Structure 1
Amino acid sequence: MFLLLSPALLFRAMSQVHVEQLNLKPVAAYFLAAGLIFAGTLLVRGFNRTAAVLGMANTYSNLVMIGIPLVGLAYGPEGMVTLLTLVSLHALVMLTTATVAVELAVAREDAQSGGPQHHMALLVWQAVRNAVVHPVPIPILAGLLFAQTGWTIPAVVDTPLMLLGQAFGPLALVMVGVTLAQNRIGPHLHGAMGLALVKNLLHPLLVVAIGWLLGLGGLPLTVMVVAASLPMGANVFLFAQRYQVKQELITASVAVSTLLALITVSAVMGFVAWLYG
């Protein structure tokens, strides 16, 4: 599903967007808020691999599986353009930042214990490559490049793309439900709730504050605030698994964050509708 439906949706959505229509200021507000939370997590918990993984849990949103169908339904094509601008950069910025932080922490731990040294430039390059060579940013960038040609997608191609894209939202939400049903929460409920509250509430509130400082508002900032309120993405668990850090806690946190989002996302959407409506 992920390798077929999401590229069709993402390419088609961006194939009619011109570069001059993109607004990067709201995206900057999102990343500034995420950066503050990530840095704050390192400051509070110390500069180590555990803090870096928890910092990612506090900031990495489920933009594709939940964000795309939600924003498409609530805010239409214009909102989708704003969201996909963020999606095209999200994994690259967040995964690279978190990878560099973890690897620096690992290198520091190894240096203290007399272990092997890591080549940071190679690690950064691998993080950037893995974030770009991925089924999410590639169709977004390809669609954006196609739009700059001024061409239109022939109907014989556009219709199947549209049907595939329309199937993505419902199936993505079903997959989220299946994932939640398989997760055990109980032993880590307290810690998971703390991480989920930071992700689901503190992140969007910081985006609101930074957007206000930057003089932003309207639909673009609304979409960024809602994106920040989305629950943790699955990449957080994969990241924790890769570095073997707090895997059970992160699994529980993804589940709690997703369940909590049923309330918090609705509350945030109502708040921004009142604030910017």
Structure 2
Amino acid sequence: MNSPVLSALLPVVLLIAAGYLAGRRRWVGAHAVKDLSNLVFLLLAPALLFRAMSTVHVETLSLRPVAAYFIGAGVIFVGMLAFLGLTRSAAVLAITATFSNTVIIGVALVDLAYGPAGLVVLLTLVSLHSLVLITAATLMIELIVAREHAAASGAARRPIVWTVARAVRNSVLHPVPLPIIVGLLFAQTGLALPTAVDKPLMLLGQAFSPVALVLVGITLALTPVGTHLRGALALAVVKNVVHPLLVAGFGWLLGVRGLPLTVMVVAAAMPIGANAFLFSQRYQVVEEQVTAAVVVSTVLALVTLSAAMALAANF
């Protein structure tokens, strides 16, 4: 029972269960879910992301292992859009199938299993994970939203350059990519955050993981997840099984071996991160399916993460 996988995943399951209890008991009603989502998305997440990026120096990052991870995620993302079509729902499902829980579960798990050396490799990915995946997904969704608005209004189609420029603006002026970019720019100055600023940011960031997971549980209690079980299971299998296999293959082709490849494969095998749920809330699409997928993926990870760690030990 002292397995590092169980030790890392059990708190996540319990937090979701606590939220589920709160939702079932109606301690938090359906009317409050949107407000809680805004709290997490507009306040807690930016504090966490800015502070995490505020000490990252680009020149210290080893990018080849990370490249294997992102190539695998990119193949899944593009493949799902090609299969499902260019819609907001498809884009949210695509980010759901590629976004790992690298912070809430990943940091604790890798630290327990592989020690400080493994943690350094993971933090290289963590420093870029949201910046690359969320910014790319936001850009794609904003392009789709711009196209939908143009079609709904019946307005003449604007030049593609204008649409791309507007989508880029909306993807940057966004509560998730913006603090990542600002934090990364701040880190390059060599300055340190004053304690009076750093401490509140730290406290807000620490609140992100438990509140986000409790929110997943509340939404789970208030939505008919059973009707989305098949779709949730399909997303969970893509995330927990297909993603790590792709990362292992691309990592091998790129010449990545040993601990760096092991950590990347394990990171790819992590269950779906809470940011996917927040994305569905933000754009108000496939919320029930994504909520179910986060839960199914987390439970399934008890098996698939153990298998991935056993397989990665041979690298």
TM-score, normalised via structure 1 length: 0.77
* Residues 21-57 of structure 1: CA deviation (Å, up to 9, x unaligned): 5310010111111110000001111111111111111
Letter in 2 for 1:244: Q
In structure 1, the residue matched to 2:117 is: 78
* Residues 223-274 of structure 1: CA deviation (Å, up to 9, x unaligned): 111111111111111111222111111111111111111111111011101x
Evaluate the alpha carbon distance shift between residue 132 and residue 178 of structure 1 in structure 2; reply closer, same or farther with a 3 A threshold. Answer: closer
Evaluate the alpha carbon distance shift between residue 111 and residue 178 of structure 1 in structure 2; reply closer, same or farther with a 3 A threshold. Answer: closer
Evaluate the alpha carbon distance shift between residue 115 and residue 27 of structure 1 in structure 2; reply closer, same or farther with a 3 A threshold. Answer: farther
1:58 paired to 2:121:
no
Evaluate the alpha carbon distance shift between residue 105 and residue 196 of structure 1 in structure 2; reply closer, same or farther with a 3 A threshold. Answer: same
Evaluate the alpha carbon distance shift between residue 44 and residue 141 of structure 1 in structure 2; reply closer, same or farther with a 3 A threshold. Answer: same
Shift in Å, 1:122: 3.7
Letter in 1 for 2:253: L
In structure 2, the residue matched to 1:154 is: none
Letter in 2 for 1:250: V
Letter in 2 for 1:239: F
Q: For residue 60 of structure 1, give the secondary structure of its aligned residue in structure 2.
A: coil
Evaluate the alpha carbon distance shift between residue 11 and residue 239 of structure 1 in structure 2; reply closer, same or farther with a 3 A threshold. Answer: closer
* Residues 92-140 of structure 1: CA deviation (Å, up to 9, x unaligned): 1111111121122223333434446685324323423544543x77778
Within 5 Å, which residues of 2 pair with 1:57-206?
57-115=96-154, 119-130=163-174, 131-134=176-179, 178=214, 181-182=217-218, 183-184=220-221, 185-206=225-246
Evaluate the alpha carbon distance shift between residue 209 and residue 69 of structure 1 in structure 2; reply closer, same or farther with a 3 A threshold. Answer: same
Evaluate the alpha carbon distance shift between residue 144 and residue 258 of structure 1 in structure 2; reply closer, same or farther with a 3 A threshold. Answer: farther
Letter in 2 for 1:121: A
Measured in 2, the distance between the counterparts of 1:255 and 1:84 equals 24
1:212 paired to 2:252:
yes
* Residues 151-202 of structure 1: CA deviation (Å, up to 9, x unaligned): 9xxxxx9xxx9xx99xx7xx99876875565424322111100001001110
Q: How many residues align?
A: 257
Structure 2: gaps spanning 5 or more residues: 1-39
Equivalent residue for 2:300, pick from 249, 260, 264: 260
In structure 2, the residue matched to 1:37 is: 76
1:48 paired to 2:87:
yes
Q: For residue 121 of structure 1, give the secondary structure of its aligned residue in structure 2.
A: helix
Evaluate the alpha carbon distance shift between residue 249 and residue 35 of structure 1 in structure 2; reply closer, same or farther with a 3 A threshold. Answer: same
TM-score, normalised via structure 2 length: 0.68
In structure 2, the residue matched to 1:229 is: 269
Measured in 1, the distance between the counterparts of 2:291 and 2:187 equals 33
Equivalent residue for 1:246, pick from 281, 286, 292: 286
Measured in 2, the distance between the counterparts of 1:248 and 1:237 equals 9
Evaluate the alpha carbon distance shift between residue 235 and residue 115 of structure 1 in structure 2; reply closer, same or farther with a 3 A threshold. Answer: farther
Shift in Å, 1:64: 1.1
Using the aligned pairs only, state the percent identity: 48
Contact in 1 for aligned 2:139/2:170 (Cα 8 Å): no
Structure 1: gaps spanning 5 or more residues: 152-156
Evaluate the alpha carbon distance shift between residue 11 and residue 123 of structure 1 in structure 2; reply closer, same or farther with a 3 A threshold. Answer: closer
Letter in 2 for 1:224: M
Contact in 1 for aligned 2:86/2:144 (Cα 8 Å): yes
In structure 1, the residue matched to 2:62 is: 23
